[in-house]
Amino acid sequence: MHFIDECKISVVAGDGGDGSAAFRREAFVPRGGPAGGDGGDGGSVILVADAQLSTLEDQQYRKHYVAERGEPGSGADKYGKAGRETLVLVPAGTRIFDHETGALLGDLAVAGERFIAAQGGTGGRGNIHFATSTYQSPDKAETGTPGERRMLRLELVLLADVGLVGYPNVGKSTLLAASSRARPKIGNYPFTTLTPQLGLVGLPGGRSFVMADVPGLIEGASEGAGLGHRFLRHLDRTRVLIHLLEISGEPGRDPWRDYQTIRNELTRFSPQLAARPELVVLGKGDVTEVAEQHRHFSQQFSEHQIELHLISGVSGVGLRELYEKVWAEIAAHDKLTR
């Protein structure tokens, strides 16, 4: 299965069936009246959020969805059958945009939510509706209205409470793997993470939260450099950010400079995202050299009222304390939004 988080689809609802202009033809009824039934309503195309799906792969390969049209009415007051609706299952977290205008039409953030992507047409009325005391044999009937036709852009935004941000290869995937049952690909080279990864982090007392690891950010990511820009939107639903730093041997890099660079990219991409509560951590805390330099950088960060936590995704140093702080931030957010 491929991770597809954006695609375009066309949706065509069914037209309403035409009403019937028919008359009664019965024995011993010399002057038969109107007996034309209504046409059936056309079926709608409906998107449904499914918790079992995690990608828009199906929609990437099947791009056209058409619902049934309503059947026409007929004589003897018979109404046409309504067209069947077409259900399109998409992952929970899917946003629906109008492809032409870019307008956000719907956001299926919760499993089971439904969105009518294209409304079916209304069936036309038969001539039984047009009879009056002075017009007892109407020969007119309405045609059904056409169903809606739309071109849509679907955009998947992962459902996660906590987002991991930082440069490539700073240990985000290692941290996710150490904290959950997620098994992201881990390697000592840039952009190990090519697609977003989710993991469920458990805490004592039956508490848990979902954490997302997205491809690492580099300078210029907000303008499309690297892989991070495309996936930054997967942090839109997060309530807390964990900003992971490392002591790198690359020239011109240190935790404080890295922090400033990534913060600038987050702000350029989305000021709302950059304003989320953030916990800043220095990884590889089980390495003696890193633990020693942590004191120096911790002082530098504290001058800007930022606490620099020391952790290790390998040995587990500092993880329990970090995640308790994460939980406190999540609880505070939920309290404010109730």
Supply the pLDDT for residue 223.
Answer: 55
Supply the pLDDT for residue 181.
Answer: 66
- Give the gyration radius of the chain's Cα atoms: 29
Supply the pLDDT for residue 189.
Answer: 46
Query: Whole-angstrom Cα distance, residue 232 to residue 165?
Result: 9
Residue 146 three-state SS? coil
Supply the pLDDT for residue 23.
Answer: 87
**What does each C-alpha distance from 152 to 104, 289, 307, 329 come to in angstroms?**
10, 53, 44, 36
Supply the pLDDT for residue 30.
Answer: 54
Query: Whole-angstrom Cα distance, residue 11 to residue 297?
Result: 55
Supply the pLDDT for residue 229.
Answer: 59
The 10s digit of each residue's pLDDT in 173-202 is 788 888 776 554 544 444 445 577 888 899
How many distinct helices (H) and strands (E) make up the chain?
7, 14
Q: Where are the alpha helices (DSSP H) in the chain?
A: 57-61, 172-179, 228-231, 255-269, 271-274, 288-302, 319-337
Looking at this protein, which amino acid is placed at residue 12? V
Asked if residue 168 lies in contact with residue 244, where contact means CB atoms within 8 angstroms, the answer is no
| Confidence (pTM) | 0.76
Supply the pLDDT for residue 196.
Answer: 76
Domains of the chain by start residue, with CATH: 6-156 (2.70.210.12), 162-337 (3.40.50.300)
Supply the pLDDT for residue 224.
Answer: 54
Regions of the chain with pLDDT less than 50 = 1, 184, 186-192, 225-226
Supply the pLDDT for residue 173.
Answer: 79
